[in-house]
């Protein structure tokens, strides 16, 4: 996996302007309605998608960018933010009720994505959610990322596809695909 520190430092600095309260509410409400008590966002950036979770949850965020993690820790001190990679998550098997990504997987090369999917499955106790820009054929968007078809990535895992639909633009303006899985 290649990591462009300059790109991600800039992304972290601009992350606060990307805060989407509707998406943060949606994610919190979904995890709550599914009777989850622990949550992990992989590629959490500055933690904007986790900030509405109550302190009754065990809240975890993983990111590679030190700048983003510093901001996250200052803005949301009740969460456990760690430096880490999607291919080597520092959690026990089936230890997190609700594991999710929000437009992270679009930036990964295919090998990293496959290893990351395996790691998400390993640490998830109940549910996995991916919210990523979608194209059935996974075509390239630009030099940095490509559209993903997460449904096809999960077919060989012991999961039940709960939902695989386009998000409404009021919740996710980039019109990303919402894939929710129940781990079996």
State which residues form the domain around 95.
Answer: 5-183
- Predicted local distance difference test score (pLDDT) of residue 170: 81
Number of domains in the chain: 1
Question: Model confidence at 143, in pLDDT bands (50, 70, 90)?
Answer: confident
- Predicted local distance difference test score (pLDDT) of residue 93: 98
- Predicted local distance difference test score (pLDDT) of residue 2: 67
> Using CA atoms, how far apart are residues 51 and 57, in angstroms rounded to an integer?
11
pLDDT digits (tens, 9 = 90+) for 75-130: 999 999 999 999 999 999 999 999 999 989 988 999 999 999 999 999 999 999 99
Angle, CA of 56, 60 and 73, to the nearest 5°: 100
Give Cα separations from 26 to 34, 129, 131 (angstroms): 12, 12, 12
Average pLDDT over every residue of 62-77:
93
- Predicted local distance difference test score (pLDDT) of residue 1: 58
Question: What's the mean per-residue pLDDT of the chain?
Answer: 91
> What is the share, in percent, of the chain residues with pLDDT greater than 70?
96
* 40 touches 99 (CB < 8 A): yes
What's the DSSP call for residue 98? E
Task: Write the CATH number for 170.
Answer: 3.40.50.150
Facing residues of 183 across strands?
A: 159
**pTM of the full structure:** 0.90
In the predicted structure, residue 146 carries a pLDDT above the cut 90: no
> Using CA atoms, how far apart are residues 103 and 133, in angstroms rounded to an integer?
7
Question: Model confidence at 5, in pLDDT bands (50, 70, 90)?
Answer: confident
In the predicted structure, residue 181 carries a pLDDT above the cut 80: yes
């Amino acid at each position: 996996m290649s990591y462009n520190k300059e790109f991600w430092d800039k992304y972290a600095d601009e992350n606060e302007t990307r805060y989407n309260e509707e998406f943060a509410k949606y994610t919190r409400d979904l995890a709550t309605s599914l009777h989850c008590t622990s949550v992990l966002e992989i590629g959490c950036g500055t933690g904007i998608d986790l900030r509405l979770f109550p302190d009754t949850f065990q809240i975890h965020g993983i990111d590679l960018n030190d700048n983003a993690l510093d901001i996250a820790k200052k803005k949301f001190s009740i969460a456990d933010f760690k430096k880490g990679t999607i291919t080597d998550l520092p959690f026990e098997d089936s230890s997190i009720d609700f594991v999710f990504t929000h437009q992270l997987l679009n930036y990964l090369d295919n090998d990293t994505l496959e290893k990351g999917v395996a790691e998400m499955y390993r640490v998830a106790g109940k549910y996995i959610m991916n919210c990523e820009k979608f194209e059935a054929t996974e075509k390239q968007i630009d030099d940095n990322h490509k559209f993903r078809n997460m449904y096809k990535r999960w077919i060989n895992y012991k999961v039940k596809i709960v939902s695989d639909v386009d998000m409404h633009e009021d919740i996710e303006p980039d019109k990303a695909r919402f894939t929710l899985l129940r781990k079996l």
